[in-house]
């Protein structure tokens, strides 16, 4: 029997489910998983038939425990974090929506991966933490930058400096997680959210995601407003915009074609 691949890909119509598949190592990321995850993001970005991605982990113990420190310590060649330019951990620059279905411990590079997604759903047993300070290293993959923007600054500093885990309940309370649902309902909820996203105009979704990241997070308000006005004008003349208005007037669901 062939060994299981560290990344499992499953298509459900326009939804791509990316599953981290090393449960024996709490889905920790080794070089092979890192390379395959980057390839999965590339496939999602460039395949026009895919509209939404869900990333999750195998099993009920861990979403992702971070970089595989055991392999890294055994051989420096296994430290993929030093050569990220060859692949990508997170879906940065992909303007299609991405959902993280966090099924357990979400730590270090696993937290970076979840933070790189647009919305996060967690099971009650999930925990979240940077862990870097306890290893004497810097939390990478966007952890310091995104935490400081996504949650109250004091909470971000607590997570970064103390390097201790917070519960799914607290993560939801501070806005790090959008919803906490029973473990048995996690993937069904993620798929339901993905299907709801697929019903919206794809051009509008991508434009607004880009505006939120590049404008809302990365620009001063006047610059962001100019970016928004430009995108608004671009999308307003598309077939999708016409279909959306017509469907509203005719009291029926819109049928978007990404044009």
Residue pair 187/175 in contact by the 8 Å Cβ criterion? no
What confidence score (pLDDT) does residue 1 get? Answer: 46
Regions in the chain scoring below 70 on pLDDT: 1-3, 71-80, 82-86
- With beta carbons less than 8 A apart as the criterion, state whether 200 and 88 touch: no
- CATH number of 182's domain: 3.90.226.10
What is the Cα Rg of the chain in Å? Answer: 19
- Residue 237 has a pLDDT of 97
What's the domain count of the chain?
A: 2
pLDDT of 126: 98
Look at residues 156, 178, 198 and tell me which one is the last residue of a structural domain. Answer: 198
**Inside any domain, residue 97:** yes
Give 22's DSSP letter. -
Q: Is residue 138 part of a domain?
A: yes
> What CATH number has the domain bearing residue 228?
1.10.12
Give SS3 for 63: strand
Do residues 190 and 228 share a domain? Answer: no
132/212 same-domain check:
no
Range of the domain at 29: 7-198
Q: Do 220 and 182 reside in the same domain of the chain?
A: no
Residue pLDDT, tens place only, 203-230: 999 999 999 999 999 999 999 999 999 9
Q: Specify whether 209 is located in the same domain as 164.
A: no
Give the phi and the psi of residue 158 in degrees, each rounded to 5.
-60, -45
């Amino acid at each position: 029997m062939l060994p299981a691949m560290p990344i499992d890909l499953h298509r459900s119509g326009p939804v791509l489910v990316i599953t981290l598949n090393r449960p024996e190592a709490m889905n920790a990321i080794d070089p092979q998983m890192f390379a395959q995850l980057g390839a999965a993001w590339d496939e999602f970005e460039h395949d026009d038939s895919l509209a939404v991605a869900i990333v999750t982990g195998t099993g009920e113990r861990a979403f992702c425990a971070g970089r595989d420190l055991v392999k890294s310590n055994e051989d420096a060649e296994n430290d993929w974090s030093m050569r990220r330019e060859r692949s990508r951990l997170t879906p940065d620059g992909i303007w299609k929506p991405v959902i993280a279905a966090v099924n357990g411990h979400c730590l270090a590079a696993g937290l970076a991966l979840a933070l790189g997604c647009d919305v996060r759903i967690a099971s009650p047993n999930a925990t979240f933490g940077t862990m870097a300070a306890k290893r004497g290293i810097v939390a990478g993959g966007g952890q310091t930058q995104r935490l400081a923007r996504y949650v109250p600054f004091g909470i971000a500093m607590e997570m970064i400096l103390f390097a201790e885990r917070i519960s799914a309940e607290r993560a939801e309370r501070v806005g790090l997680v959008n919803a906490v649902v029973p473990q048995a309902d996690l993937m069904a909820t993620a798929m339901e959210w993905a299907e709801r996203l697929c019903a919206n105009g794809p051009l509008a979704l991508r434009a607004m995601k880009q505006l939120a990241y590049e404008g809302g997070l990365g620009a001063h308000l006047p610059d962001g407003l100019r970016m928004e006005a430009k995108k608004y004008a671009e999308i307003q003349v598309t077939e999708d915009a016409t279909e959306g208005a017509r469907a509203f007037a005719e009291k029926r669901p819109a049928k978007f074609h990404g044009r």
